[in-house]
Amino acid sequence: MRLDLGGDPVELCAALVDVPSVSGEEGELADAVERALREQAPHLEVLRSGDAVLARTGLGRERRVLLAGHLDTVPIADNLPSRRDGHLLHGCGTSDMKAGDAVFAHLAATVIDPRHDLTLVFYDCEEVESDRNGLGRIERDHPDWLHADLAVLGEPTNGTVEAGCQGTLRVEITTRGRRAHSARSWLGDNAVHAAAPVLDRLTGYQARQVDIDGCRYREGLQAVRIAGGVAGNVVPDVCVVTVNFRFAPDRDVAAAQQHVREVFDGFELAVTDSAPGALPGLAAPAAREFLAATGAQPAAKYGWTDVSRFAALGIPALNFGPGDPNLAHTREEHVDTRQITAATDLLRRFLTG
């Protein structure tokens, strides 16, 4: 099958959708993308890495912009091949994220003389376990291919800009007591009752909101689990409250831990897992240019996304793409084709200056 990179990116999106590419089975689509880039974008250096395809200019520009999109989808749900209905294109992967892939591939082939050097990364296995993620493999095998001054991931954002991400920290707070038969409860000491002040501190907690690079981050401190109890006639001797702290990226993990320890001062507390946040990095020149060109008001990204991989490399990164994130992974997945056209126009304006 032949992909026409230079034609209408809406048609290109439908063509990408019609090559099934569930995570781990991206081979046929990667072959098609690689062949199209080699044939229709001879100004680009092309690299194949597993079922990822990379391409880049070598124009010696002052800055380099990286456009990245994953080729894989979640499992098909009776929603292939794609189907047009007025302005809507239906099908698995339309929003998440072959619309973004189509925009990037079309620009790769048609913007011959960009004002920044360009790197394209079409990668595999974003929808599955982190250790299978194609970006991780590229980072290990071809680290020089990820150098850039700004990374744009084409995840569906309805055409808005989402930047940075919050960190996450999970702790277990344990209260202890003494077991006793509940018929003689005064011989015991109830660990579940002892958890009352832990819950009181959670209900009384005022979550911080902070603005960074124009993005507002809203923190949260939430019990995600509580468990205690031995039997229906026993005063429990242990109760564990699991608390998840989602923190703005101006705190690092150590500072987040310190904060949570202060909130639960006096209680037994163990950290079970954590992941750092990512600063939006929108003050970087290439990012400012991007925002100016798109006219978008950036918003904080709350979940952990591949943006964080670039942030960890010191590269400002943001999500920007056509499609509705709320439709991702649904049977009803579709994309408004006008968003594909609009995103193509905005990005072209940014790249051509």
How far apart (Å, rounded) are the C-alpha atoms in residues 301 and 58? 32
Residue 73 is classified by DSSP as B
Which residue in 26, 34, 72, 333 is the catalytic one?
Answer: 72
**Choice between 187 and 292, CB closer to a copy of itself:** 187
Q: Which is nearer to a copy of itself, 91 or 276 (CB)?
A: 276
Check residue 251 and report its DSSP letter: S
CA dihedral sign of residues 179, 183, 189, 190: positive
126 is catalytic: yes
Catalytic site residue 127? no
Distance between CA 162 and CA 298 in Å, rounded?
6
Of residues 149 and 162, the one with the C-beta less far from a copy of itself? 162
Q: Which is nearer to a copy of itself, 146 or 260 (CB)?
A: 260
Q: Which is nearer to a copy of itself, 107 or 260 (CB)?
A: 260
The answer to whether 122 and 69 have CB atoms below 8 angstroms apart is yes
DSSP-assigned beta bridge partners for residue 145: none
At its nearest, how many Å lie between a copy of itself and the CB of residue 279? 16
Identity of the residue, 230 or 283, whose beta carbon is nearer to a copy of itself in the bound complex:
230
The SS3 of residue 313 is: coil
**153 neighbors 68 (Cβ within 8 angstroms):** yes
- How far apart are the C-alpha atoms of 295 and 72, rounded to whole Å? 30
Catalytic residue among 126, 127, 149, 155: 126
Beta carbon of residue 165, minimum distance to a copy of itself (angstroms, whole number):
9
* 13 CB-near residues (< 8 Å, 6+ apart): 89, 94, 98, 99, 101, 102, 335, 337, 340
How many Å apart are CA 266 and CA 201, to the nearest integer?
Answer: 12
What are the residues whose beta carbons fall under 8 Å from the beta carbon of 85, sequence distance 6 or more? none
Residues that bind a copy of itself (CB under 8 A): 166, 168, 170, 181-186, 188, 190, 192-193, 195-196, 199-200, 202-203, 207, 218, 220, 222-236, 239, 241-242, 244, 246, 273, 302-304
- The 10 Å CB-count burial string (b at 16+, else e) for 245-273 is bbbbbebebeebbebbeebbeebebeeee
Q: How far is the CB of 167 from a copy of itself (least distance, A)?
A: 10
Residue 100 CB, shortest distance to a copy of itself, in Å, is 21
Residues marked active site are found at 72, 126
